[in-house]
A and B are shown apart, each in its own frame.
Chain A
Amino acid sequence: GAVVSQHPSWVICKSGTSVKIECRSLDFQATTMFWYRQFPKQSLMLMATSNEGSKATYEQGVEKDKFLINHASLTLSTLTVTSAHPEDSSFYICSARDPGGEGLREYFGPGTRLTVT
């Protein structure tokens, strides 16, 4: 399957600071990437859809000014958690839609565990 990388794999930051997470598709160009949040023992919660060259589409209840998404190229999307608070601590996972095979398959990055102290 296609390969999606994510960096960093884990990060600890202090309250009030910002953290940037990168998501890259390594062997294909992804016009669409997705950002999810996952709490322990729960399903994936879609935060936003990131489209290359346009503004991200946020799901209801997700603050766009807090979770800044930039899809700068066909292989890179970034999520910046601004003014992080302890309640933002979570596992953040990106995914990319492989345009091959009618653009149906979605591959996930390894995730970033964010801890805000």
Chain B
Amino acid sequence: GENVEQHPSTLSVQEGDSAVIKCTYSDSASNYFPWYKQELGKRPQLIIDIRSNVGEKKDQRIAVTLNKTAKHFSLHITETQPEDSAVYFCAASTTGNQFYFGTGTSLTVIP
């Protein structure tokens, strides 16, 4: 089955700096890669996703890049704010099948 690895497990950045979280996957058939943000005690919220036919997608301060050849994708958050502090999960899946989640990255934005 699919194996998704996520790094780093913890990340601290100064407010206004950028944060980058990286994930790798093993199954070349995976074609959908969402990113979720989870605040303590709350549900994971979909923040951005990308399909395998696209190399990059941006939504305001958040962007995701995908390298299909290398089987890795990354989340980029620019101009970080304290409210960006949360745990971020990446996932990979093939259409119609289950999501395989990374182990999560705890992001802390220091004011």
Contact A111 B104 (CB under 8 A): no
Q: Is A102 in contact with chain B by the CB < 8 A criterion?
A: yes
Minimal beta-carbon separation of A7 from chain B (angstroms): 13
Given known A43-B103, A93-B43, A111-B43, contact A104–B98 (CB-CB < 8 A): no
Residues of A within 8 A of B44 (CB): 44, 93, 108
Instruction: Name A68-102 residues within 8 Å CB distance of B.
Output: 93, 102
Instruction: Name B48-96 residues within 8 Å CB distance of A.
Output: 49, 51, 89, 93, 95-96
Residues of B within 8 A of A44 (CB): 44, 89, 101
Q: Which residue of A lies closest to B100 (CB)?
A: A46
Contact B102 A43 (CB under 8 A): yes
Name the one of A1, A34, A46, A102 contacting B46, with C-beta atoms under 8 angstroms: A1
Minimal beta-carbon separation of B49 from chain A (angstroms): 7
Contact B42 A104 (CB under 8 A): no
Q: Is A54 in contact with chain B by the CB < 8 A criterion?
A: no
Name the one of A46, A104, A108, A111 contacting B95, with C-beta atoms under 8 angstroms: A104
Between-chain CB contacts (< 8 Å), 23 pairs: A1-B45, A34-B99, A43-B101, A43-B102, A43-B103, A43-B104, A44-B44, A44-B101, A46-B98, A93-B43, A102-B95, A103-B96, A104-B32, A105-B34, A105-B46, A106-B46, A107-B46, A108-B36, A108-B44, A110-B42, A110-B43, A111-B41, A113-B41
Given contacts A34-B99, A105-B34, A113-B41, 6 further A-B contacts (CB under 8 A): A43-B101, A43-B103, A104-B49, A106-B34, A108-B44, A110-B42
Residues of A at the B interface (CB closer than 8 Å) are: 1, 34, 41-44, 46, 49, 93, 102-111, 113
Residues of B at the A interface (CB closer than 8 Å) are: 32, 34, 36, 41-46, 49, 51, 89, 93, 95-96, 98-99, 101-104, 106
